[in-house]
Amino acid sequence: MAEPVHASPAHEEHHHEQSFWRKYIFSTDHKVIGVQYAVTGLAFLLFGFGLMMVMRWQLAYPDTPIPWLGSLLGENRVGANGSMLPDFYNELGAMHGTIMVFLGVVPLAVGGFGNFVMPLQLGAPDMAFPRINMISYWCLFMGGVTMFGSFFLPNGAAGNGWTSYSPLADTALNGQTAWLIGMIFLITSSLLGAINFITTAIQLRAPGMTWMRLPFFCWAQIVTAFLLLLAFPPLEAAGVLQLMDRVASTSFFIPEGLVIGGEVAEFSGGGSPLLWQHLFWFLAHPEVYVLILPAMGIVAEVIANNSRKPLWGYRSMVYSLIFLGFMSFIVWAHHMFITGMGSVMSTFFQTTTMIISIPSVIILSALFISLWGGSIRFNTAMLFALGFLPMFGIGGLTGLPLGLSAADIPLHDTYYVIGHFHYVVAPGTLFALFAGVYYWFPKVTGRKMNEFLGKLHFWPSLVFMNGVFFPMMIQGLNGVSRRLADGGITYDFAGEVAGLNRMMSVSAWCLAVAQIPFIINFFMSIRNGKKAGRNPWNSTTVEWLAPSPAPHGNFDQPIEVVRGPYEYSVPGSDKDYVPQAEPAST
């Protein structure tokens, strides 16, 4: 057959000159949409980080006037002396979590990297459903506007934790309704994206791109898409039910006989607060893997490329990934050990939790072992990828005592938990995402980012990340609860370690300063970075065969994949990499 193997509308439109709006705003090109997602994600990460920096003021200096911002925040948020009111602290906490997870990491890791990189790595001209892809981004955008706008409601944004437990969230006077509407947009966005990712991976792989030739990053995105597709609908349903509780006085999550503020609450009752938790965590545990799997995918790509050798144990990594995805659906109630769980339930969930740690250990071990025998280049992308390994290691290991129900009793809902999952997603996932930004930036813009500024970004970030999160473990072991608007100083038992808060807050602010080189580097390099050719990193995977930046339709040559994704340093080859789609020499 002489005609192109993957004929698609994208190819036919190839030569049309598009209007500005169709090209950059309501684009159906996966690369433009990927960039839209990534920029939105990065902006919200910065915003969510900003919320946390304000919280850290209150933790370091409880009831002290907030500098600069105090007068801008309004009397609902700061007291007479300009210090933070508890409701404002709760608002910041809930929105920090929501924004970082649903508007920061997921849009960047899945929407951004997944959209931009996966079709290129598959050798596809675009996503399978370009218009659904566009709608998916704009749903996210609407969700972002709703969440951001909720700060301007008379009672502020939601303040019931990112977990929004009922009945508190059902009855709170703050912006919980807006939160729920925002979540419905965000979930819809993820569902549309997930269908698209799965279809694209199944249907649009270039000829010869068999499953076991798929780059690990693509596998990570596929498993992630299945998690989003299967885990998010229950939360969407739960969100609608909670919305009904709030606006239509139903009682899905409200039991009989509530007395709130001395008044018998006007609910018919008969619902269950625990039902919300089950529905929430049925999503939110797989969501943890939505945050981490794309990160592992990025790290695997960067490590293979910069150690100049194949990933060690690629197959077992892929099987572990699939197993991890499956298991992530049956561990959710380990978030609920202290809700009054009997021994049968707790035995089941702590056993599955211990089982799920094994594939994580296998993947992490394989990444460590992949380095052995390599010829390691320490560019910025590699530094972030390497930083990911021990940081994610700490995050994973500190999950063990929390996953064993008996050890969880004193640690549950303490700063130990906060430290644990921040190690997973902050110096873990975020480092991987930074690695991805430095690594794929040339493909997006045609230019490399500056290495010196990159290193100036990495090293202080590594130090200050640990400065923020490691003391949380110590506070947690001392029993300090999370979500305390004064950082725990009300309690004697927390007093000894409350002093750490100041050092942690200073670390957080220094961490912010450490992001300035990144922001400068990012914008400067778009125009002034060193020009990169198609394959600046001498990489093997298919995205590097496209021009940088890649045009609409992606490739200017037919792609036929003939080998695995990581053929680095092949014995007998004259160069130290053999691209996946380079014809075998005779």
Partner 1 sequence: MMDAMFPVAASEHAGEIDNMIDAVHYLMLALFIVWGVFFVYTLMRFRAGRNPKADYVGVKSKASTVGEVLVAIAEGILLLGFSIPMWAERVDEVPDESEATVVRVVAQQFAWNVWYPGADGEFGAADVNLVDEATNPIGLDRDDPAGADDIWTVNQLHLPVRKAAIIHLSSKDVIHSFNLPNMRIKQDAIPGLSIPVWFVPTMTTAQIREETGNPDYVYEIACAQLCGNSHYSMRGFLTVHTEEEFQAWLDEEASYLGDSDDDFFDF
Under rule CB under 8 A, which residues in 382-441 are in contact with partner 1? 386, 389-390, 393-394, 397-398, 400-401, 404-407, 409-414
Rounded to a whole number of angstroms, the minimum distance from the CB of residue 584 to partner 1 is 17
- Distance from C-alpha of 216 to C-alpha of 344, rounded to nearest angstrom: 37
Q: Contact between 370 and partner 1 (CB under 8 A)?
A: yes
Among 95, 341, 462, 511, binds partner 1 (CB under 8 A): 341
Which lies closer to partner 1 via its Cβ, residue 273 or residue 553?
Answer: 273
Q: 270-276 — which CB contacts under 8 Å span 24+ positions?
A: 271/166, 271/245, 273/165, 273/166, 273/167, 274/336, 274/339, 276/164, 276/165, 276/166, 276/169, 276/238, 276/241, 276/242, 276/252
Footprint on residues 226-255 left by partner 1 (CB under 8 A): 254-255
Among 20, 21, 68, 372, binds partner 1 (CB under 8 A): 372
CA distances from 58 to 46, 99, 382 (A): 19, 20, 36
Rounded to a whole number of angstroms, the minimum distance from the CB of residue 187 to partner 1 is 23
Per-residue contact track with partner 1, 78 to 107, x per CB under 8 A? -------xxx--x-----------------
Among 568, 579, 580, 581, binds partner 1 (CB under 8 A): 568
Bridge partners of 414, per DSSP, are 481
Among 21, 67, 266, 343, binds partner 1 (CB under 8 A): 343
Which lies closer to partner 1 via its Cβ, residue 87 or residue 451?
Answer: 87
Count residues contacting partner 1 (CB under 8 A)? 98
- Contact segment (CB under 8 A) with partner 1 among 122-130, 503-511, 530-538, 568-576 equals 568-576
Rounded to a whole number of angstroms, the minimum distance from the CB of residue 207 to partner 1 is 26
Cα 54 → chain centroid: 22
Cα 4 → chain centroid: 36
Which lies closer to partner 1 via its Cβ, residue 82 or residue 393?
Answer: 393
DSSP 500-536: HHHHHHHHHHHHHHHTHHHHHHHHHHHHHSPB--S-T
- Contact segment (CB under 8 A) with partner 1 among 13-21, 143-151, 190-198, 491-499 equals 491-499
Per-residue contact track with partner 1, 520 to 539, x per CB under 8 A? --------------------
Q: Contact between 483 and partner 1 (CB under 8 A)?
A: yes
- Distance from C-alpha of 535 to C-alpha of 532, rounded to nearest angstrom: 7
Which lies closer to partner 1 via its Cβ, residue 128 or residue 391?
Answer: 391
Rounded to a whole number of angstroms, the minimum distance from the CB of residue 138 to partner 1 is 33
Among 258, 512, 524, 526, binds partner 1 (CB under 8 A): 258
The amino acid occupying position 518 is F
Cβ neighbors of 478 (< 8 A, separation 6 or more) are 493, 494, 496, 497
Footprint on residues 172-231 left by partner 1 (CB under 8 A): 172
- Contact segment (CB under 8 A) with partner 1 among 41-49, 76-84, 482-490, 533-541 equals 482-490
Tokens of 372: 């052995």
Secondary element (H or E) of residue 114:
none
Which lies closer to partner 1 via its Cβ, residue 25 or residue 260?
Answer: 260
- Distance from C-alpha of 429 to C-alpha of 291, rounded to nearest angstrom: 7
Q: Contact between 377 and partner 1 (CB under 8 A)?
A: yes
Footprint on residues 154-173 left by partner 1 (CB under 8 A): 160-161, 165, 167-168, 171-172
Rounded to a whole number of angstroms, the minimum distance from the CB of residue 197 to partner 1 is 30
- Contact segment (CB under 8 A) with partner 1 among 125-133, 148-156, 266-274, 546-554 equals 266-274
Among 24, 211, 378, 452, binds partner 1 (CB under 8 A): 378
Cα 577 → chain centroid: 31
Among 46, 76, 375, 513, binds partner 1 (CB under 8 A): 375
Rounded to a whole number of angstroms, the minimum distance from the CB of residue 465 to partner 1 is 16
Alpha helices in 446-515 (DSSP H): 451-477, 492-498, 500-514
Q: Contact between 257 and partner 1 (CB under 8 A)?
A: yes
Contact 427, 391 (CB under 8 A): yes
Q: Contact between 272 and partner 1 (CB under 8 A)?
A: yes
Rounded to a whole number of angstroms, the minimum distance from the CB of residue 488 to partner 1 is 8
Q: Contact between 268 and partner 1 (CB under 8 A)?
A: no
Rounded to a whole number of angstroms, the minimum distance from the CB of residue 310 to partner 1 is 7
- Distance from C-alpha of 147 to C-alpha of 150, rounded to nearest angstrom: 5
Among 486, 512, 524, 547, binds partner 1 (CB under 8 A): 486
Which lies closer to partner 1 via its Cβ, residue 312 or residue 522?
Answer: 312
Q: Contact between 322 and partner 1 (CB under 8 A)?
A: no
- Contact segment (CB under 8 A) with partner 1 among 12-20, 199-207, 222-230, 340-348 equals 340-348
Q: Contact between 67 and partner 1 (CB under 8 A)?
A: no
Cβ neighbors of 407 (< 8 A, separation 6 or more) are 401
Query: C-alpha angle with apex 559: 124 to 227, nearest 5 degrees?
Result: 35
Among 5, 145, 247, 358, binds partner 1 (CB under 8 A): 358
Rounded to a whole number of angstroms, the minimum distance from the CB of residue 523 to partner 1 is 30
Among 490, 503, 556, 558, binds partner 1 (CB under 8 A): 490
| φ, ψ (nearest 5 deg) of residue 4 | -60, 140
In the block, residue with structure tokens 């992949």: 370
Which DSSP state fits 175? Answer: B
Residue whose C-alpha is closest to residue 105's, from 430, 419, 324, 328: 430
- Distance from C-alpha of 548 to C-alpha of 532, rounded to nearest angstrom: 7
What beta strand segments (E) does 183-331 contain? Answer: 259-260, 263-264
Q: Contact between 330 and partner 1 (CB under 8 A)?
A: no
Per-residue HEC secondary structure of 299-347 comes to HHHHHHHHHCCCCCCHHHHHHHHHHHHHHHHHCHHHHCHHHCCCHHHHH
Number of CB atoms found within 10 A of residue 7's CB: 10
Burial, 202: exposed, middle or buried (Cβ in 10 Å; 0-12, 13-18, 19+)?
Answer: exposed
Q: Contact between 366 and partner 1 (CB under 8 A)?
A: yes
